[in-house]
């Protein structure tokens, strides 16, 4: 873990992967296999492009170490207990091409 990033990861989030949708379109998650991850959560309003390329309002940014494999349909509750939809999941790359962080923009 990069030391400047390590200093920022002072909160934790619980990551549950998306498994399927029921007959009514409601998502289901693997809550039994949820993983707790060190995170940095910034509540700042900004404009971002979602996975479809549409410009939308993001109300928070979550930074994670490395690439845990978070997908746009996964559930990632913030430390305050809210579970907003994930708008965009991107990775940060260092000067050598290695991935060292994941950025998640939420609604």
Query: Per-residue pLDDT tens for 32-41?
Result: 888 899 999 9
Residue 1 has pLDDT above 70, yes or no: no
What CATH architecture does domain 3-106 belong to?
Beta Barrel (2.40)
Asked if 92 and 67 touch (Cβ cutoff 8 Å), the reply is: no
Q: Is 70 exposed, middle or buried (0-12, 13-18, 19+ CB in 10 A)?
A: buried
Residue closest to 9 by CA, chosen among 63, 69, 46, 71:
63
Mean pLDDT to the nearest integer, 61-69: 85
Q: What percent of the chain has pLDDT over 70?
A: 97
Instruction: Kindly write down the DSSP assignment for every residue of 15-39, as one continuous string.
Output: EB-EEEE-TTS-EEE-GGG-EEEEE
pTM of the model: 0.83
Residue 48: pLDDT band (50, 70, 90) is very high
CA angle 21, 23, 28 (to 5 degrees): 25
Q: For the chain, what is the mean pLDDT? A: 87
Domain boundaries, the chain: 3-106
Residues 6+ apart with CB under 8 A from 72: 51, 86, 87, 88, 89
CA atoms within 13 A on the CB side of 26: 3
């Amino acid at each position: 873990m990069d030391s400047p990033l390590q200093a920022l990861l002072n909160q934790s989030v619980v990551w549950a992967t998306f498994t399927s949708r029921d007959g009514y379109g409601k998502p289901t998650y693997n809550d039994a296999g949820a993983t707790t991850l060190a995170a940095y959560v910034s509540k700042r309003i900004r404009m971002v492009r979602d996975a479809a390329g549409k410009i939308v309002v993001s109300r928070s940014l979550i930074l994670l170490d490395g690439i845990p494999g978070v997908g746009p349909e996964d559930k990632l509750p913030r430390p305050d207990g809210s579970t907003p939809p994930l708008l965009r999941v991107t990775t940060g790359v260092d000067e050598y091409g290695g991935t060292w962080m994941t950025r998640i923009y939420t609604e």
